[in-house]
């Protein structure tokens, strides 16, 4: 019977060896986020119920109360937990291979290329780089964390391809790489030609749309404004063996969007839509517009309960110059140039930095508690 093995170690050659070793014996791996405090790690292990754990020294220890996995299961990876308690998403060897094949085909990746892992391998954005490299027989370098100097040095040593989030992209010179896959949050409105914006999720084993175009073998349809996807790279189940699929195998993503000229346009998470004064407001669209203001370095938007409006639009802004922040009127005037007036924020809050999740997404729950 196949078992789940937790890997409590940073990304690196030893991590890769542990993954391949566990797979060779027919078991599945669960990468444990190295940045979590001990209490959070313990809770996550209890939820995922691995049979053993391998530490950074290579020692494997058996754990109680484990649950087996099915034959063919390869990976249990935690969701980002941005909307609640993280779930374990189960991927098989075949679903990961399908995702890697479609990605490499679109990118034209071969054994002549060289991938860099500098995102957390406990998230699909980092782990999927490993499977792409394995599928194409490409060279692979793994970093335990994102460090500008180390990433730049790796590019100088021959790395050609990398997967980043927006905050990391802003800290490097993109031209040092042949190709950058960009995920984790809404991409900037303008970006270099070698930066490919991706759309996907843990359940799809990462990006299944590159620059709004579906990868090979990916189907998409819109059902009541919600994006549904289907393809061989979809998860098998959650760790508790429940599944999110429709009867005919489609995955409702929870994102609103629409198709135009065979390209997918994503409005944002349906649960994050703000209803203010009876009007529907998409935070993603508003954030993209506000980010183009010359005084704004970073921005987040959310709805806050309000007696008059039901929800009022509140914006949190990190100014480019803390001594010269934009005013609420500045922001409202800027928004009104391209969006309906009901999109204009009712309140502006200035921050030195936005709280972020480990994948560079804005932590909306933390933001609302500030």
Q: What's the pLDDT tens digit per position in 4-13?
A: 999 999 999 9
Closest CA to 348 of 285, 280, 302, 310: 302
With respect to residue 243, please indicate whether it lies within any of the assigned structural domains.
no
Identify whether residues 220 and 295 lie together within a single domain.
no
Angle at 294 between CA 292 and CA 300, to 5 degrees: 50
Q: What is the pTM of this model?
A: 0.85
Burial class (CB in 10 A: 0-12, 13-18, 19+), 103: buried
Query: What is the extent of the structural domain holding 20?
Result: 4-89
With respect to residue 244, please indicate whether it lies within any of the assigned structural domains.
no
Q: How confident is the model at residue 80 (pLDDT cuts 50, 70, 90)?
A: low
Identify whether residues 104 and 154 lie together within a single domain.
yes
- Cα–Cα distance measured from residue 101 to residue 97, given in angstroms and rounded to the nearest whole number: 6
> Domain boundary residue among 89, 108, 130?
89
Q: How confident is the model at residue 40 (pLDDT cuts 50, 70, 90)?
A: confident
Residue 37's pLDDT is 82
Residue 241's pLDDT is 96
Residues with Cβ < 8 Å from 299, sequence gap 6 or more? 287, 290, 291, 315, 316, 317, 318, 354
Identify whether residues 40 and 80 lie together within a single domain.
yes
Percent of the chain with pLDDT over 70: 97
With respect to residue 245, please indicate whether it lies within any of the assigned structural domains.
no
With respect to residue 350, please indicate whether it lies within any of the assigned structural domains.
yes
- Cα–Cα distance measured from residue 123 to residue 119, given in angstroms and rounded to the nearest whole number: 8
> Domain boundary residue among 35, 55, 89?
89
With respect to residue 179, please indicate whether it lies within any of the assigned structural domains.
yes
* 93: pLDDT strictly greater than 60: yes
With respect to residue 135, please indicate whether it lies within any of the assigned structural domains.
yes
* 221: pLDDT strictly greater than 90: yes
Q: Where are the beta strands (DSSP E) in 32-184?
A: 52-55, 60-62, 73-78, 88-92, 114-117, 139-142, 161-165, 179-183
Averaged confidence pLDDT in the chain? 93
Q: How confident is the model at residue 84 (pLDDT cuts 50, 70, 90)?
A: low
Residue 265's pLDDT is 93
pLDDT in tens, 335-364: 999 998 999 999 999 999 999 876 667 888
- Cα–Cα distance measured from residue 129 to residue 179, given in angstroms and rounded to the nearest whole number: 13
Identify whether residues 146 and 212 lie together within a single domain.
yes
Residue 81's pLDDT is 46
Q: What is the mean pLDDT of residues 75-102?
A: 86
> Domain boundary residue among 70, 89, 108?
89
With respect to residue 242, please indicate whether it lies within any of the assigned structural domains.
no
Q: What is the mean pLDDT of residues 256-268?
A: 93
Percent of the chain with pLDDT over 90: 82
Which residue, chain included where needed, has tokens 């691995």? 50
Identify whether residues 257 and 288 lie together within a single domain.
no
Q: What is the mean pLDDT of residues 189-207?
A: 94
Question: What φ, ψ does residue 101 adopt, rounded to 5°?
Answer: -65, -45
Identify whether residues 72 and 8 lie together within a single domain.
yes
* 242: pLDDT strictly greater than 80: yes
Span of 62-71, 274-283, 319-328 with lowest mean pLDDT = 274-283
When divided into structural domains, the chain yields a total of 3
Residues with Cβ < 8 Å from 332, sequence gap 6 or more? 344, 345
CATH no. for residue 34? 3.40.50.980
pLDDT in tens, 104-157: 999 999 999 999 999 999 999 999 999 999 999 999 999 999 999 999 999 999
Identify whether residues 229 and 256 lie together within a single domain.
yes
Q: How confident is the model at residue 83 (pLDDT cuts 50, 70, 90)?
A: very low
Residue 79's pLDDT is 84
With respect to residue 176, please indicate whether it lies within any of the assigned structural domains.
yes
Residue 165's pLDDT is 87
Identify whether residues 152 and 61 lie together within a single domain.
no
Identify whether residues 298 and 357 lie together within a single domain.
yes
CATH no. for residue 297? 3.30.300.30
Identify whether residues 163 and 258 lie together within a single domain.
yes
Residue 238's pLDDT is 97
Identify whether residues 72 and 123 lie together within a single domain.
no
Identify whether residues 140 and 200 lie together within a single domain.
yes
CATH no. for residue 169? 3.40.50.12780
Residue 363's pLDDT is 85
């Amino acid at each position: 019977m196949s078992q789940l093995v937790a890997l409590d170690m940073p990304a690196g050659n030893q991590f890769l060896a542990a993954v391949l070793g566990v797979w060779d014996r027919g078991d599945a791996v669960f990468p444990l986020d190295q940045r979590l405090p001990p209490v959070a790690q313990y809770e996550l292990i209890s939820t995922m119920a691995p049979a053993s754990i391998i530490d950074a020294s290579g020692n494997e220890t058996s754990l109680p109360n484990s649950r087996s996995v099915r034959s063919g299961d390869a990976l249990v990876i935690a969701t980002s937990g941005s909307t609640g308690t993280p779930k374990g998403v189960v991927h098989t060897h075949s679903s990961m291979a399908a995702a890697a094949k479609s990605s490499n085909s679109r990118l034209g990746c071969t054994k002549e290329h060289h991938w860099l892992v500098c995102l957390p391998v406990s998230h699909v954005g980092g782990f999927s780089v490993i499977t792409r490299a394995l599928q194409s027989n490409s060279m692979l370098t793994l970093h335990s964390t994102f460090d500008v100097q180390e990433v730049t040095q790796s590019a100088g040593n021959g790395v050609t391809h990398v997967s980043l989030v927006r905050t990391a992209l802003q800290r490097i010179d993109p031209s040092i790489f042949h190709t950058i896959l960009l995920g984790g949050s809404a991409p900037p409105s303008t970006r270099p030609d070698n930066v490919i914006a991706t759309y996907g999720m843990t359940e799809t084993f990462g990006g299944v749309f590159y620059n709004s175009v579906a990868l090979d073998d990916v189907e998409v349809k819109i059902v009541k404004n919600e994006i549904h996807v289907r393809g061989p790279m979809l998860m098998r189940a959650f760790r508790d063996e429940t599944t999110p699929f429709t009867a005919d195998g489609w995955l409702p993503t929870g994102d609103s969007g629409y198709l135009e000229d065979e390209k997918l346009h994503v409005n944002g998470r349906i649960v994050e839509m703000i209803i203010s004064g009876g009007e529907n407001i998409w935070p993603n669209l508003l954030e993209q517009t506000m980010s183009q203001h010359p005084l704004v370095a970073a921005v987040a938007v959310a709805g806050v309960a309000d007696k008059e409006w039901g929800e009022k639009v509140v914006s949190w802004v990190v100014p480019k110059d803390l001594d010269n922040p934009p005013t609420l009127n500045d922001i409202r005037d800027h928004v009104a140039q391209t969006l309906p007036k009901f999109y204009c924020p009712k309140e502006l809050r200035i921050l030195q930095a936005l709280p972020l999740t480990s994948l560079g997404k804005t932590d909306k729950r933390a933001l609302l508690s500030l």
